[in-house]
Chain A
Amino acid sequence: MIINHPLLGPRDAQEFTYLGDASMIHRPHWQAEDAIDQFHDYTYLRDNPAGSHRELWFHEQGDRSWLVVTRNTLTHEIEKVELASDVAKAEGRSR
């Protein structure tokens, strides 16, 4: 597959390692009332769509940036590629 890196342009997927669902960006708060349930869901539960999937890829052999890739799991079409840090900040992650 080719991943169109937002800064570096198209790169072969062989330069990357795959982690999984981009929902991993939203780590729950450790002091929440139901923290243990939230962390359980965060760590173990995943959707498995046959279609568009937002997922985390690490450009290990490239610029070492984490990316959020929106990819169709059936056709492998990659609809969008964003820097994970941009996505994280936009979705409320900070310090």
Chain B
Amino acid sequence: MTEYILNAQTPLNGFSLEKDGVSFKEVSLAGMISIAPLTGQEEALNNALKDSFGLGLPKVNKKASSNSASIYCVAKDQFFLEVAEEKTQELTDFLKYNASLAAMTDQTDSWVNVEASGPNVIGKFERLSMLDIHPDHFEVGSVARTVMEHVGVIFSREANQSNGDMTYRVMAARSFAKSLEHALSI
């Protein structure tokens, strides 16, 4: 009997593009889950997260990050937790042992992520998104869920590049990957 092997693919197969003063590159996540606290469990959940990942639940539209994980809040009781490769086992365990604290689902494959940075990144996104992402109003660690070119997206502002260029990340549902790539590439 043949031993079959399944190969993994990222949504955009490592898309990258330099155009009009912006660099785009696809980012793939080692692990990501959704977290929605169940009734009365916010505090216990907060403590459990701090224990496992060193991060508590942030306020809405904010992202808290460490070297190996980040948690961000897109709604009153909707969070996403992302981890780097070294924390994937912690993530699996967290899912397994904390089902009574929160509704959690694996989201690792659900999203396409593209990072954008460069001197013209604001000029690029003002042609795409209704959000006010001007650095005065959208600081590092800000998150917003909105719609862009008819595609639901999650915008976040990441730390600046070493040369000072502003960096944003755009996430969309995986099935929209090609459409997102097209929207960004025009």
> A residues bordering B, Cβ < 8 Å?
7-8, 11-12, 14-15, 61-65, 83
Residue of A with least CB distance to B132: A10
Nearest CB in chain B: distance from A37 CB, A: 35
**In the bound complex, how far is the Cα of B145 from the Cα of A15, in angstroms?**
9
Main secondary structure of the interface of B (DSSP, over half): strand
Tally of contacts, chain A with chain B, CB under 8 A: 32
Q: Contact at A62–B76, with CB atoms within 8 Å?
A: no
Main secondary structure of the interface of A (DSSP, over half): loop
Chain A residues with CB under 8 Å of B12's CB are: none
CB-contact partner of A65 in B76, B130, B146, under 8 A: B76
Chain B residues with CB under 8 Å of A83's CB are: 76
Interface residues of B in 93-131 (CB under 8 A from A): 130
Count how many chain B residues have C-beta atoms less than 8 Å from C-beta atoms of the other chain: 12
Q: Contact at A8–B152, with CB atoms within 8 Å?
A: no
Q: Contact at A11–B75, with CB atoms within 8 Å?
A: no
Chain A residues with CB under 8 Å of B84's CB are: none
Q: Contact at B144–A8, with CB atoms within 8 Å?
A: yes
Q: Contact at A61–B147, with CB atoms within 8 Å?
A: yes
Residue of B with least CB distance to A62: B145
**Contact A63 to B147, CB < 8 A, known contacts A7-B76, A12-B130, A14-B130:** no
**In the bound complex, how far is the Cα of B144 from the Cα of A83, in angstroms?**
18
**Contact A63 to B145, CB < 8 A, known contacts A7-B60, A8-B60, A8-B61:** yes
* B78 CB within 8 Å of chain A: yes
